[in-house]
Amino acid sequence: MSSQLQNQPKRLGAGLIILGIVAIVLLMAIPLFVVRDSQFGGSDNAGAKAITAIAPDYNSQWITNFWTPPGGETESMLFALQAAAGGILIGYLFGYLRGRKAAQQSSPDS
């Protein structure tokens, strides 16, 4: 198994990385232009609507969220906060790793 792994390219080239990023952006952007008559509601009424259709008598109010954001703006802010927290962590750790690598390379001992 190790010999098989050794035969593989060690790392992706810059071209492939750029291609990957372009593909990700396109996968997210194309729907916005192809599907015209939609607001892309990610709304959570979704599954709920289907449930209501299948089981009209089901009462989902037997328990409700402990706290709900007062509106869309606050909700967006909290989602942005979640993404920012993760993004800061990722950026910090990658920065640390890059710095560590640079320090190792500039030190003649290692």
Partner 1 sequence: MTFHKRLRWSMLLVLPLLLGVRIAWAYPAAAPSSMHIMEGFLPLGWAVFWWLVALPFWIIGFIKVKKLLTEKPEQRLLLGLAGGFIFVLSALKIPSVTGSSSHPTGTGLGTILFGPFVVGILGTIALIFQALLVAHGGISTLGANAMSMAIGGPLIAYGVWRLLRGKAPSYVNVFVTAFVADLATYVITTSQLALAFPDPVSGFMGSWLTFAGIFAVTQIPLAVAEGILTVLIFNALQTSATAEMQALGLQEA
Binding site for partner 1 (CB under 8 A): 1-2, 4-6, 8, 10-12, 17, 20-21, 23-24, 27-28, 30-32, 34-35, 37-38, 40-51, 54-55, 58, 60-69, 75, 78-80, 82-83, 85-90, 93-94, 96-98, 101
Cα(86)–Cα(63) distance, integer angstroms: 30
DSSP at 62: G
**CA-CA distance, 95 to 99, in Å (whole number)?**
6
Q: Smallest gap, in angstroms, from Cβ of residue 33 to partner 1?
A: 10
Closer CB to partner 1, 38 or 106, in the complex: 38
CA Rg, the chain, in Å?
A: 24
